[in-house]
Chains A and B, each alone.
Chain A
Amino acid sequence: MSVASPINLILLSLFVVLVYYHFRPKQAISLPRGPPPVVFRTYTPKTLIEFNGENDRPVYLAVRGRVFDVSPGRNFYGPGGPYENFAGRDASRGLAHQSFDVEMLTDDLSAPLDGLKDLDADQLENLQSWEDRFSEKYLVVGKLVAEGDPEAPKS
């Protein structure tokens, strides 16, 4: 009768392993960090045009001075999509007229922003409903001001 027989050693080491697994310090779980937040910026038509979705850049469009990040809807607003003309542009007039033609955009990027003074009540309502939909679905990532506006960032 001895304590230090092989069978006893085996049983004892099994016991020690079990105790270790029961009491071993547990590593706290950490989740990977989310994407860094986008910085809210002030855009002018000239800086906004870069965000037209080409070369995998994000797709932005502006409605009445608010810049929306519509990258999740790249298939519609990005290159090749039905609304691709709006990418990187002020889309207010086009949305109000329910038209996606190039004529709806302000050609001259240095010009003041489209005042939309000539729209009728139906068109304004149309625009409002688009804007509401965008606010629901997409993130506002900045505001659009005309070139030369006091708020415009100095280049």
Chain B
Amino acid sequence: MADQASLIEQVDAALSNVLADWNIYSTLFAGLLGAFALYSLFSSRDPDVHPFLLARQSTASPIRNSGESATYRCLETPYGFPLRSGLNVKDPGTPKYTAGRRGDLRDIWKAAVRGSLNPDGSASGKQGKIFTVLGKNSIEHSLSQLTQEMNVVGKELQKSDAKTVAVCLTDSVELLASIFAGSFYGYKTVIVPHNLPAETLSAHLLACKADALIAEAGSLDLSIVAKGNKQLDLVIWVAKYGNRHMDWHEVPEEVKGTLNALVWHELVEEHKDLAGMDVPEYDPTTPAPAVNTVWPSSSTSGRFIDFQSENLIAALAALGSALPRNQRFTPSDLVLSIDSLSRSYPLLQIMNALYSNASIALNSVAGENVDFALATLGISPTVIIASSQTMADYHERVMKPHTGPISSLGRWVQARTLDGGNMPSKNILSQISRVGPTAELSLNDLRLLCISHRVDADPSVRLTSEQLTELRIFTDARIVYALTGPGIAGAISQTNIFDYRCLSGLAHFGAPLSCTEITLTNVSENGGSDDLPEGQLTVAGPAVVDGKTTLPTRVRISNDNTVELI
């Protein structure tokens, strides 16, 4: 008993000894401790998404064929359920219980012109805007004015009985108008990348049997194109503001009489009273015409991808639903594409924005490799669609060299927040950390970066997990990173918008979209059961031309069921 008492006394004495040394520094440290404990307590948030959803991002089918892997699908449309094939458009007047239509491009334009809906389903009449970015300036267009142009050009092409119209334009409202005019006025649109040599363009036109061409005035030598394309009987020039005073009606001697040259703005001026600003009436049961694009391949000048309207709509619906409800495009968004609309991923994301009544911005210099800072100069978008090459290049050239010690410290702290599954909020620290790397950017409202990577692009432009983390921190935007391939509308797979994990090495490409399913073929049967499945990428689903395609690329399905290029 006495021992115990003395023990307690000793402890008591030791404690009072220690406490006797309490001084001003102790108060300071205790204050620090308390403050940090409080900060730690109140700054902790639930992660944006349950970690289990990131630990297994797609489902595998329970059965496979010999020599193949299981079939992987996104969590939205698991094995045994139909893949997403359309927008589920419900026409006014149809009973509530009926299933919606798949929809086509005409429904997108109609929804864009109708404007956003109030929560009760009535139209609020608030349309999105369309901007064209020209250097530091941007020009605003209205959707009704664009509908008018679409009607004029569509009727003109219908009058000349055009079946296939090649569109060779930079990203512009005229390009969009031509594509939508095709769906309303029944001609097949072929989007040809601009800046091609006249010989290549001529070969493309011949390959797709184009009987009309819409191109930028002065951008190509008509005599070469006309010589190789006897079937061509109409050219519509789109003249820029600076050279509208010139006479563009002239055609080369040898095709005079067979080839007719018109000018876009003159046509619109001439017929605008007749055409009207309303979206043309259409019968939704008639199929919408196809839209072809050219997939750039290294060997030749490219190959045609014959997207049917169904492929595009399925991919568009899947791209929309791939984002969680609170991250989808809304009427308050401004979506800027700095990647060429001749590629299906940017094109469908822009159409998705139109369908969601968001405002969109187009940049005439847009392409696979552009200067990120220059391309985003004239406007402050909330969403940017860019290619992996653009982003990798900007990160390598500007962000990395400008990351000083302060930026690194801020980056490190914010990377911890991202690791915890949260997007860092804006504060002093985040401001300081991004001063250097983003000095030349004016992206204050940016919330989402949609980056796409071509499956056959240069492997050196594939982004690493760390680069994606830095892009998240420095631009203060969430990122989706998509893998695109020839013959697949939109994307094959796309990362989860809330997947902030910084894994080692090259970034993965997430789970398949809800309109595609992935099977690996040519899989070795000799591997152990613990080996990750590895093989040739085969994609099937409603977004794929002809339902199914096998790409020459080898991929791996990693432990969290995401797609990795090898």
Contacts and interface: CB of A to CB of B under 8 A. Distances in A.
A and B form one complex: yes
Contacts of B32: 15
Contacts of A19: 36
Interface in B511-525: none
Given A15-B36, A18-B40, A22-B40, A3 B64 contact: no
A22 B35 CA distance: 13
Contacts of A29: 51-52, 54-55
Contact of A6 (B21, B37, B420): B21
A34 interface: yes
A118 B70 CA distance: 39
Interface string A120-149: 000000000000000000011100000000
Given A7-B18, A8-B21, A25-B419, A37 B61 contact: yes
A114 B355 CA distance: 55
B533 to A, nearest CB: 9
A14 B26 CA distance: 12
Given A5-B23, A33-B559, A15 B33 contact: yes
B498 to A, nearest CB: 13
B230 to A, nearest CB: 51
B560 interface: yes
Taking residues whose C-beta sits less than 8 angstroms from the other chain, chain B's interface range is 35 or more
A39 B18 contact: no
A49 to B, nearest CB: 21
A10 interface: yes
Interface string B40-69: 100000000001101110001111111001
A67 B288 CA distance: 42
B503 interface: yes
Contacts of A6: 18, 21
A139 B25 contact: no
Given A28-B501, A31-B55, A37-B70, A18 B62 contact: no
A91 to B, nearest CB: 20
A64 to B, nearest CB: 18
Contacts of B560: 30-31
A7 B22 contact: yes
Interface in B522-566: 529, 559-560
Nearest to B503: A28
Contacts of B62: 35, 37-38, 139
Contacts of B21: 2, 5-8
B18 A10 contact: yes
A34 B58 CA distance: 12
A31 B56 contact: yes
B24 interface: yes
Given A6-B18, A29-B55, A31-B52, A11 B26 contact: yes
Interface string A64-79: 0000000000000000
Given A1-B24, A141-B63, A18 B37 contact: yes
A136 to B, nearest CB: 10
Given A5-B21, A36-B529, A30 B26 contact: no
A25 B417 CA distance: 10
A34 B63 contact: no
Contact of A8 (B26, B69, B420): B26
A38 B60 CA distance: 11
Contacts of A12: 29
B63 A23 contact: no
A15 B63 contact: no
A26 B60 contact: no
B500 to A, nearest CB: 10
B66 A41 contact: yes
B63 A37 contact: yes
B60 A37 contact: yes
A11 B30 contact: yes
B413 interface: yes
Contacts of A15: 29, 32-33, 36
A30 B53 CA distance: 10
A140 B64 CA distance: 11
A110 B9 CA distance: 93
Given A22-B40, A30-B559, A5 B64 contact: no
Interface of B: 18-19, 21-26, 29-30, 32-33, 36-37, 40, 51-52, 54-56, 60-66, 69-70, 413, 416, 419-420, 501, 503, 529, 559-560
Given A2-B21, A10-B18, 9 more contacts: A8-B23, A11-B26, A11-B30, A23-B416, A26-B419, A37-B61, A37-B63, A38-B62, A41-B66
Which 8 pairs of residues, A with B, have the shortest CB-CB distance?
A: A5-B21, A11-B29, A37-B70, A37-B64, A29-B51, A31-B55, A15-B33, A29-B55
Interface of A: 1-3, 5-8, 10-12, 14-15, 18-19, 21-23, 25-26, 28-31, 33-41, 139-141
7 contacts: A1-B25, A21-B40, A28-B51, A31-B52, A31-B560, A37-B61, A38-B64
